[in-house]
Amino acid sequence: MNARLDWSSRAGGPLRGDVRVPGDKSVSHRGLMLAAIADGSSRIRGFLEGEDTRATAAVLAQLGVRIDAPSPGERIVHGVGLHGLRRSEQPLDCGNAGTGMRLLAGLLAGQAFDSTLVGDASLSKRPMRRVTDPLAQMGARIDTRDGMPPLRLHGGSALCGIHYELPIASAQVKSALLLAGLYAGGTTEVIEPHPTRDYTERMLAAFGWPITFEPGRARLEGGHRLRATDVEVPADFSSAAFFLVAASMVPGSELRLPAVGLNPRRTGLLQALRLMGADIRVERLREAGGEPVGDLLVRHAPLHGIELPAALVPDMIDEFPVLFVAAAAAAGRTVIRGAAELRVKESDRIATMATGLRTLGVAIEETPDGAIIDGGRIGAGTVESLTDHRIAMSFAVAGLTAAGPVRINDCRHVATSFPGFLDLANGCGFVLQDGG
């Protein structure tokens, strides 16, 4: 990880142009993992060249998988088959990536060999029992440090499929159990309290594994094989989100975001922003790589506060930091509830956003599972990203209509999910500088 990096964001002119955001993080992680244990070679196009997904590629390479990178955004993964992974003597470093660690825990729980998964300071504080408890029910033996990383997985456990009702909506936990289920005897079935992103299910089917799934439920049996297939990664809606809010906020703006993934389990922010008065259109809606994809056209529109419908929360779980900014810029009150999961992301996103927005003069009341934000005016000041990539980018958006510069401390983690954000943002009209 590079040295500390501070940013300064300030108001400029309208935002204009085409903004091509990088590949989807969730799809990139899963593409690598499934291709790694498939028979034959798979090509991944649109791969996110982020630190999180590169960490997963490096872990798989440590486990004996050859991965070629013929060009940026492209990987050829030479699959080793379901039982072809090999023990690594060294710990497997997932970096900042919760998705990487939790999915790899599922993938590695049923292997014949031991593994140790480690992460950076932020990941080392994130809860892992949500995945290790159900994996233990399947027969896995995993040691944690008080429920947190490192995870020591003991090899040679015979896994058994379970029927598991998730206590919280989590695509990561669901995916970990499905990956472990590939190695388990019998049926693994996962029921969710609210449907979450279904990339693992769709991709398992594309790799030829028999699976039945519908929103809120997925079921598979062990003992099949995966066949190599090519993976097309759409642009990441979560990265597009910063530009959707930015262009909505700045008068005179008009941005086009081509080929963005529009899986309905990801687009809650689109609906929330439209309820707030945003002008966002989907053009050329089509299917690519088995996923709905479209070009997003966003124009400035005055935003107003809303009571966020609770049903949207899981479909926009990564977009709350930037929604907080939209709410701070909007006229009137926005009420967010039912989003307690935000407290265990790369930072406690409710507290980090509330502290930062308050520093910028915004009236915001933190609640255990959300916030009440009285928007209208954003002031100048210095805020902390707490090394959380999405917090850093969200405050860069806040600077666009702020009364003076917004300085954002420690933005080096932005490259975990959005390499090149600074150049892309400045290219369409942000005034964002590094070096504070």
**Least CB distance to ligand S3P at residue 197 (A):** 6
Residue 70 DSSP class: S
Q: Which is nearer to ligand S3P, 340 or 403 (CB)?
A: 340
Do residues 142 and 159 make contact, with C-beta atoms less than 8 angstroms apart? no
Q: CA 373 to CA 362: how far, in whole Å?
A: 8
Residues that bind ligand S3P (CB under 6 A): 26, 99, 170-172, 175, 197, 317-318, 341
**Least CB distance to ligand S3P at residue 171 (A):** 3
Do residues 221 and 301 make contact, with C-beta atoms less than 8 angstroms apart? no
**Least CB distance to ligand S3P at residue 363 (A):** 27
Q: CA 143 to CA 392: how far, in whole Å?
A: 33
**Of the candidates 112, 106, 86, which has an alpha carbon nearest to the alpha carbon of residue 94?**
106
Beta-bridge partner residues of 160? 185
Q: CA 407 to CA 428: how far, in whole Å?
A: 20
Q: CA 400 to CA 250: how far, in whole Å?
A: 7
Helix ranges (H only) for 151-198 are: 171-182
Q: Which is nearer to ligand S3P, 261 or 381 (CB)?
A: 261
Q: Which helix (H) or strand (E) holds 393?
A: helix 389-398
**Least CB distance to ligand S3P at residue 178 (A):** 11
Give the tokens for residue 138.
Answer: 């399947």
**Of the candidates 93, 319, 81, 291, which has an alpha carbon nearest to the alpha carbon of residue 200?**
291
Inter-CA distances, 192 with 217, 218, 219, 303, Å: 6, 9, 12, 33
Q: Which is nearer to ligand S3P, 166 or 330 (CB)?
A: 166
Helix ranges (H only) for 63-170 are: 98-109, 129-137
**Least CB distance to ligand S3P at residue 290 (A):** 16
Point out the catalytic residue in the list 52, 120, 198, 318: 318
Which residue type, as a one-letter code, is found at position 423? D
Q: Which is nearer to ligand S3P, 48 or 298 (CB)?
A: 48
Q: Which is nearer to ligand S3P, 102 or 256 (CB)?
A: 102
Q: Which is nearer to ligand S3P, 242 or 430 (CB)?
A: 242
Q: CA 374 to CA 129: how far, in whole Å?
A: 36
Which residue type, as a one-letter code, is found at position 331? A
**Least CB distance to ligand S3P at residue 318 (A):** 5
**Least CB distance to ligand S3P at residue 259 (A):** 19
374 among known catalytic residues:
no
- The arrangement of strands across the sheet holding 39-45 comes to 66-68, 74-80, 39-45, 231-232
What are phi and psi for residue 198, nearest 5 degrees? Answer: -110, 35
Do residues 233 and 44 make contact, with C-beta atoms less than 8 angstroms apart? yes
Q: Which is nearer to ligand S3P, 15 or 179 (CB)?
A: 179
Query: Catalytic residue positions?
Result: 318
